[in-house]
Chains A and B, each alone.
Chain A
Amino acid sequence: AQSVTQLDSQVPVFEEAPVELRCNYSSSVSVYLFWYVQYPNQGLQLLLKYLSGSTLVESINGFEAEFNKSQTSFHLRKPSVHISDTAEYFCAVNSGTYKYIFGTGTRLKVLA
Protein backbone atom coordinates (compact mmCIF):
# COMPACT_ATOMS: atom_id res chain seq x y z
CA ALA A 1 0.00 0.00 0.00
CA GLN A 2 1.13 3.50 -0.68
CA SER A 3 1.15 6.42 1.70
CA VAL A 4 2.22 10.05 1.75
CA THR A 5 3.49 11.91 4.78
CA GLN A 6 3.64 15.66 5.10
CA LEU A 7 5.25 16.18 8.45
CA ASP A 8 4.55 19.89 8.80
CA SER A 9 0.92 20.89 9.17
CA GLN A 10 1.78 24.60 9.23
CA VAL A 11 4.82 26.55 8.06
CA PRO A 12 5.08 30.28 8.81
CA VAL A 13 7.74 32.16 6.86
CA PHE A 14 8.55 35.80 6.22
CA GLU A 15 8.13 37.30 2.79
CA GLU A 16 11.18 36.92 0.53
CA ALA A 17 12.59 34.14 2.72
CA PRO A 18 13.15 30.62 1.35
CA VAL A 19 10.81 27.78 2.23
CA GLU A 20 10.82 24.00 2.03
CA LEU A 21 7.68 21.90 2.42
CA ARG A 22 8.47 18.29 3.11
CA CYS A 23 6.87 15.24 1.53
CA ASN A 24 7.83 11.61 2.02
CA TYR A 25 6.11 8.67 0.41
CA SER A 26 6.00 4.94 0.83
CA SER A 27 5.51 2.58 -2.09
CA SER A 28 6.78 -0.79 -3.27
CA VAL A 29 6.44 0.13 -6.94
CA SER A 30 7.42 3.03 -9.16
CA VAL A 31 5.55 6.19 -8.41
CA TYR A 32 4.52 9.42 -10.00
CA LEU A 33 4.52 12.44 -7.71
CA PHE A 34 2.58 15.67 -7.62
CA TRP A 35 2.30 18.89 -5.66
CA TYR A 36 -1.03 20.69 -5.60
CA VAL A 37 -1.93 24.09 -4.15
CA GLN A 38 -5.30 25.03 -2.69
CA TYR A 39 -6.48 28.57 -1.96
CA PRO A 40 -9.42 29.08 0.46
CA ASN A 41 -12.71 27.63 -0.81
CA GLN A 42 -11.13 26.56 -4.08
CA GLY A 43 -10.26 23.23 -5.63
CA LEU A 44 -6.76 21.82 -5.88
CA GLN A 45 -4.55 23.17 -8.65
CA LEU A 46 -1.54 21.29 -9.95
CA LEU A 47 1.70 23.04 -9.08
CA LEU A 48 4.20 20.57 -10.53
CA LYS A 49 4.66 16.87 -11.25
CA TYR A 50 7.30 14.22 -11.59
CA LEU A 51 6.47 11.47 -14.07
CA SER A 52 9.91 10.49 -15.40
CA GLY A 53 13.17 11.98 -16.58
CA SER A 54 14.90 14.78 -14.69
CA THR A 55 14.43 14.45 -10.97
CA LEU A 56 14.22 18.22 -10.54
CA VAL A 57 10.95 19.71 -11.69
CA GLU A 58 9.91 23.33 -11.70
CA SER A 59 6.69 25.31 -11.77
CA ILE A 60 6.07 28.55 -13.63
CA ASN A 61 5.85 30.58 -10.41
CA GLY A 62 9.24 29.70 -8.96
CA PHE A 63 8.57 26.51 -7.02
CA GLU A 64 10.68 23.43 -7.56
CA ALA A 65 10.71 19.89 -6.21
CA GLU A 66 13.26 17.14 -6.40
CA PHE A 67 12.44 13.46 -6.59
CA ASN A 68 14.82 11.54 -4.35
CA LYS A 69 14.26 7.82 -4.77
CA SER A 70 16.73 6.71 -2.10
CA GLN A 71 15.13 8.95 0.50
CA THR A 72 11.61 8.47 -0.87
CA SER A 73 11.07 12.20 -0.77
CA PHE A 74 9.65 14.90 -3.00
CA HIS A 75 10.19 18.13 -1.08
CA LEU A 76 8.87 21.42 -2.43
CA ARG A 77 11.08 24.50 -2.31
CA LYS A 78 10.96 28.14 -3.24
CA PRO A 79 13.95 30.46 -2.79
CA SER A 80 11.87 33.58 -2.09
CA VAL A 81 8.18 33.49 -1.14
CA HIS A 82 5.50 36.12 -1.69
CA ILE A 83 2.39 36.95 0.29
CA SER A 84 0.37 35.45 -2.56
CA ASP A 85 1.96 32.03 -1.92
CA THR A 86 -0.08 31.74 1.27
CA ALA A 87 -2.17 28.61 0.70
CA GLU A 88 -2.38 24.93 1.55
CA TYR A 89 -0.06 22.59 -0.31
CA PHE A 90 -0.74 18.90 -0.90
CA CYS A 91 1.69 16.22 -1.99
CA ALA A 92 0.21 13.24 -3.88
CA VAL A 93 1.44 9.92 -5.25
CA ASN A 94 0.15 7.66 -7.98
CA SER A 95 1.53 4.27 -8.99
CA GLY A 96 -0.04 3.90 -12.38
CA THR A 97 -3.64 3.19 -11.42
CA TYR A 98 -6.63 5.42 -10.88
CA LYS A 99 -5.68 5.92 -7.22
CA TYR A 100 -4.14 9.22 -6.19
CA ILE A 101 -3.05 9.21 -2.55
CA PHE A 102 -2.81 12.62 -0.90
CA GLY A 103 -0.92 13.82 2.13
CA THR A 104 -2.63 15.71 4.91
CA GLY A 105 -1.48 19.08 3.57
CA THR A 106 0.84 21.84 4.76
CA ARG A 107 -0.53 25.29 5.38
CA LEU A 108 2.02 27.88 4.24
CA LYS A 109 1.58 31.27 5.87
CA VAL A 110 3.72 34.05 4.43
CA LEU A 111 4.20 36.95 6.82
CA ALA A 112 4.86 40.55 5.82
Chain B
Amino acid sequence: ETGVTQTPRHLVMGMTNKKSLKCEQHLGHNAMYWYKQSAKKPLELMFVYSLEERVENNSVPSRFSPECPNSSHLFLHLHTLQPEDSALYLCASSQGYRGQQFMNTEAFFGQGTRLTVV
Protein backbone atom coordinates (compact mmCIF):
# COMPACT_ATOMS: atom_id res chain seq x y z
CA GLU B 1 0.00 0.00 0.00
CA THR B 2 1.07 3.56 -0.57
CA GLY B 3 0.06 6.89 0.90
CA VAL B 4 -1.89 7.40 4.09
CA THR B 5 -4.40 4.76 5.16
CA GLN B 6 -7.06 5.23 7.80
CA THR B 7 -9.19 2.55 9.42
CA PRO B 8 -12.03 2.17 9.91
CA ARG B 9 -13.67 4.31 7.23
CA HIS B 10 -16.92 4.50 9.19
CA LEU B 11 -17.56 4.12 12.91
CA VAL B 12 -20.73 4.36 14.96
CA MET B 13 -20.23 4.34 18.70
CA GLY B 14 -22.23 4.96 21.82
CA MET B 15 -21.27 7.60 24.32
CA THR B 16 -19.96 5.01 26.77
CA ASN B 17 -17.87 3.07 24.25
CA LYS B 18 -14.12 3.07 23.81
CA LYS B 19 -12.75 2.84 20.29
CA SER B 20 -9.61 3.72 18.39
CA LEU B 21 -8.91 5.22 14.99
CA LYS B 22 -5.82 4.05 13.18
CA CYS B 23 -3.63 5.82 10.67
CA GLU B 24 -0.66 4.39 8.81
CA GLN B 25 1.63 6.08 6.32
CA HIS B 26 4.06 4.45 3.94
CA LEU B 27 5.74 7.62 2.74
CA GLY B 28 8.72 7.76 5.07
CA HIS B 29 7.38 10.92 6.71
CA ASN B 30 8.11 11.87 10.31
CA ALA B 31 5.30 14.35 10.99
CA MET B 32 1.75 13.13 11.49
CA TYR B 33 -1.47 15.00 12.19
CA TRP B 34 -5.05 14.53 13.34
CA TYR B 35 -7.65 16.94 11.98
CA LYS B 36 -11.35 17.15 12.74
CA GLN B 37 -13.74 18.22 10.01
CA SER B 38 -17.26 19.09 11.06
CA ALA B 39 -20.06 20.29 8.82
CA LYS B 40 -19.93 24.03 8.16
CA LYS B 41 -16.76 24.48 10.24
CA PRO B 42 -13.13 24.99 9.25
CA LEU B 43 -10.70 22.13 9.40
CA GLU B 44 -9.52 21.89 13.02
CA LEU B 45 -6.00 20.78 13.81
CA MET B 46 -6.16 18.51 16.85
CA PHE B 47 -2.71 17.00 17.34
CA VAL B 48 0.68 17.03 15.67
CA TYR B 49 3.48 14.54 16.18
CA SER B 50 6.95 15.32 14.93
CA LEU B 51 9.60 12.61 15.23
CA GLU B 52 7.15 10.68 17.44
CA GLU B 53 6.85 13.52 19.96
CA ARG B 54 3.63 15.43 20.39
CA VAL B 55 4.31 19.04 19.43
CA GLU B 56 0.78 20.40 19.20
CA ASN B 57 -2.31 19.82 21.26
CA ASN B 58 -4.94 22.36 20.35
CA SER B 59 -7.03 22.40 23.53
CA VAL B 60 -8.57 19.09 22.61
CA PRO B 61 -10.77 17.48 25.30
CA SER B 62 -9.17 14.61 27.17
CA ARG B 63 -11.74 12.17 25.80
CA PHE B 64 -9.49 12.20 22.70
CA SER B 65 -6.13 10.60 23.36
CA PRO B 66 -3.50 10.33 20.60
CA GLU B 67 -0.71 7.81 20.42
CA CYS B 68 2.25 7.66 18.05
CA PRO B 69 4.21 4.44 18.65
CA ASN B 70 6.50 5.04 15.66
CA SER B 71 6.78 7.44 12.75
CA SER B 72 4.54 5.30 10.52
CA HIS B 73 1.57 4.85 12.84
CA LEU B 74 -0.80 7.20 14.60
CA PHE B 75 -3.81 6.35 16.72
CA LEU B 76 -6.64 8.36 18.18
CA HIS B 77 -8.20 6.68 21.20
CA LEU B 78 -11.78 7.70 21.90
CA HIS B 79 -13.78 7.31 25.10
CA THR B 80 -17.00 8.76 26.51
CA LEU B 81 -17.57 10.89 23.44
CA GLN B 82 -20.43 13.32 22.96
CA PRO B 83 -22.78 13.59 19.97
CA GLU B 84 -21.08 16.85 18.95
CA ASP B 85 -17.89 14.85 18.39
CA SER B 86 -19.50 13.30 15.33
CA ALA B 87 -17.35 14.40 12.39
CA LEU B 88 -14.90 13.28 9.72
CA TYR B 89 -11.51 12.64 11.33
CA LEU B 90 -8.61 13.07 8.97
CA CYS B 91 -5.07 11.88 9.43
CA ALA B 92 -2.23 13.47 7.49
CA SER B 93 1.52 13.20 7.24
CA SER B 94 4.30 15.37 5.88
CA GLN B 95 8.04 14.97 5.42
CA GLY B 96 8.75 16.84 8.61
CA TYR B 97 12.24 17.64 9.80
CA ARG B 98 15.48 16.65 8.10
CA GLY B 99 18.06 17.70 10.63
CA GLN B 100 17.13 21.19 11.76
CA GLN B 101 15.14 22.08 8.68
CA PHE B 102 11.45 21.46 8.16
CA MET B 103 10.86 20.26 4.62
CA ASN B 104 8.37 22.58 2.96
CA THR B 105 6.30 20.08 1.11
CA GLU B 106 2.67 19.29 1.16
CA ALA B 107 0.71 17.30 3.72
CA PHE B 108 -0.75 14.01 2.50
CA PHE B 109 -4.19 13.05 3.79
CA GLY B 110 -5.91 9.77 4.41
CA GLN B 111 -9.50 9.10 3.33
CA GLY B 112 -10.81 9.88 6.78
CA THR B 113 -12.96 8.09 9.34
CA ARG B 114 -16.60 9.16 9.46
CA LEU B 115 -17.47 9.00 13.16
CA THR B 116 -21.03 9.06 14.45
CA VAL B 117 -21.64 9.20 18.18
CA VAL B 118 -25.10 8.07 19.26
A residues within 8 Å of B by Cβ? Answer: 32, 34, 36, 41-46, 49, 51, 90, 92, 94, 96-100, 102-105
Majority secondary structure, B binding face = strand
**Interface residue count on the B side (C-beta < 8 Å):** 27
Inter-chain contacts of B79 with A (CB < 8 A)? none
B residues within 8 Å of A by Cβ? Answer: 4, 6, 31, 33, 42-43, 45, 48, 50, 55-56, 88, 90, 92, 94, 96, 102, 104-112, 114
User: What is the CB-to-nearest-CB distance from B116 to chain A, in angstroms, rounded to a whole number?
Assistant: 12
Closest residue to B41 on the A side, CB-wise? Answer: A104
Closest residue to A31 on the B side, CB-wise? Answer: B104
Residues B104 and A43 in contact, CB atoms below 8 Å apart: no
Residues A100 and B107 in contact, CB atoms below 8 Å apart: yes
User: What is the CB-to-nearest-CB distance from B105 to chain A, in angstroms, rounded to a whole number?
Assistant: 7
Residues A43 and B111 in contact, CB atoms below 8 Å apart: yes
Residues A96 and B102 in contact, CB atoms below 8 Å apart: yes
Closest residue to A90 on the B side, CB-wise? Answer: B43
Q: Whole-angstrom distance between the alpha carbons of A105 and B39 in the complex?
A: 11
| A–B complex contacts, Cβ < 8 Å, 13 sampled | A32-B104, A34-B106, A45-B109, A49-B105, A51-B105, A90-B43, A94-B104, A96-B104, A98-B94, A98-B102, A100-B92, A100-B107, A103-B42
Closest residue to B96 on the A side, CB-wise? Answer: A98
A46 with B108, Cβ < 8 A, contacts A98-B31, A99-B56, A104-B42 known: yes
Residues B88 and A41 in contact, CB atoms below 8 Å apart: yes
Q: Whole-angstrom distance between the alpha carbons of A24 and B48 in the complex?
A: 25
Q: Given A49-B106, A90-B43, list of 10 further CB < 8 A pairs?
A: A42-B112, A44-B92, A46-B106, A46-B108, A51-B104, A96-B104, A97-B102, A98-B55, A98-B102, A102-B42
